[in-house]
């Protein structure tokens, strides 16, 4: 369905909407100072990667663009803006508190918003375009909903994704012992304490 190439993906840093616990969707909610600090903290992870991204692709929303620009201080690679990687347009729910936004739980279309079917289609289109044309590895800087849409294309529902938490997607080579992959990529995430820690996300196996 989508070219099986290795790539990195990260959600933008904390925004004013995140801090206020409201749905931003297509609203252009800027990064908080904490969000900018989160993006700068990714420098340590980037510097210790064995195979660093050679290109950054980000959505047109400032929270993704600014996160990408800060991360690129450590990479200094070309950057491309692609609006197909933007968050879903949440319609009447934009600016509403998260406690009232349960549509993502069962993927019900939001009033006056972008249909999930159309959202999934543009995420697929964006993935096909960038992974089909760039040797990579590419770093995609986007949004929590884009993560969820990407995995939902393969029938997988995932919980929320942390701000500025780097993920690596590698074509499946070997599943963990006594497990079967339900997704064509091995998914790894990175943390940095005293050293760089790379952990497999087991939710993608059964």
**C-alpha–C-alpha distance, residues 169 and 155, integer Å:** 17
DSSP string, 44-98: HHHHH-SS--SEEEE-SSHHHHHHHHHHHHHH---EEE-GGGSPP--GGGTTSBG
Instruction: Show which residues are catalytic.
Output: 12, 87
Q: Which residues contact 160 (CB under 8 A, 6 or more apart)?
A: 144
Phi-psi sector, 72: left (phi>0), alpha (psi -120 to 50), beta: alpha
Torsion of CA 87, 89, 90, 92, to 10 degrees: 150
* Strand blocks (E) in 83-173: 138-142, 167-171
Give me the residues paired with residue 198 across strands. Answer: 190
């Amino acid at each position: 369905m989508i070219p099986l190439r290795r790539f990195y993906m990260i959600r933008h840093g904390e925004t004013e909407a995140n801090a206020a616990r409201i749905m931003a969707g297509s609203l252009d909610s800027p990064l908080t100072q904490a969000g900018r600090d989160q993006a700068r903290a990714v420098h340590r992870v980037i510097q210790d990667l064995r195979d660093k991204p050679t290109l950054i692709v980000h959505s047109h929303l400032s929270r993704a663009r600014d996160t990408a620009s800060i991360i690129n201080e450590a990479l200094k690679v070309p950057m491309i803006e692609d609006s197909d990687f933007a968050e879903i347009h949440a319609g009447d729910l934009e600016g509403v508190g998260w406690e009232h936004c349960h549509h993502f739980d069962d993927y019900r279309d939001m009033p006056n918003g972008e249909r999930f079917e159309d959202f999934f289609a543009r995420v697929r289109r964006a993935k096909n375009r960038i992974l089909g044309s760039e040797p990579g590895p590419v770093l995609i800087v986007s949004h929590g909903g884009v993560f969820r849409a990407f995995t939902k294309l393969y029938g997988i529902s995932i919980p929320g994704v942390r701000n500025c938490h780097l993920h690596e997607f590698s074509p499946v080579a070997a599943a963990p012992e006594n497990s079967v992959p339900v997704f064509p990529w091995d998914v790894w995430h990175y943390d940095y304490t005293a050293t760089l820690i790379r952990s497999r996300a087991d939710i993608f196996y059964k």
